[in-house]
Amino acid sequence: MVCPSCGQAHPIRSWDWKQQGGFARLLVQVEEIFPGEAVPTDGLFDLLERASGCAWRHFYVQD
């Protein structure tokens, strides 16, 4: 992925989105939550990891 500001190219996984954006092949979208208003619990992450077999993280998107 190429940064539109400085033109540097790095693998998308190496970018630090500061939880203000992200990308996913599989996601669970929860709407009507402002950034930082709610945080997924460890229990939810554990459940998702057991069901999918991969680690999960979260990020916020504000339209």
Cβ 10 to Zn ion shortest distance, Å: 9
Considering beta carbons, is residue 7 or 53 the nearer one to Zn ion? 7
Q: Which residues pair with 2 in a beta bridge?
A: 9
In 3-state terms, what secondary structure has residue 14?
helix
Kindly identify the residues of this chain, within the stretch 26-45, that bind Zn ion according to CB under 5 A: none
For residues 34 and 52, give the distance between their C-alpha atoms in angstroms, rounded to a whole number. 26
For residues 23 and 17, give the distance between their C-alpha atoms in angstroms, rounded to a whole number. 10
Is 3 near Zn ion (CB under 5 A)?
A: yes
Considering beta carbons, is residue 6 or 51 the nearer one to Zn ion? 6
> Where does this chain bind Zn ion (CB under 5 A)?
3, 5-6
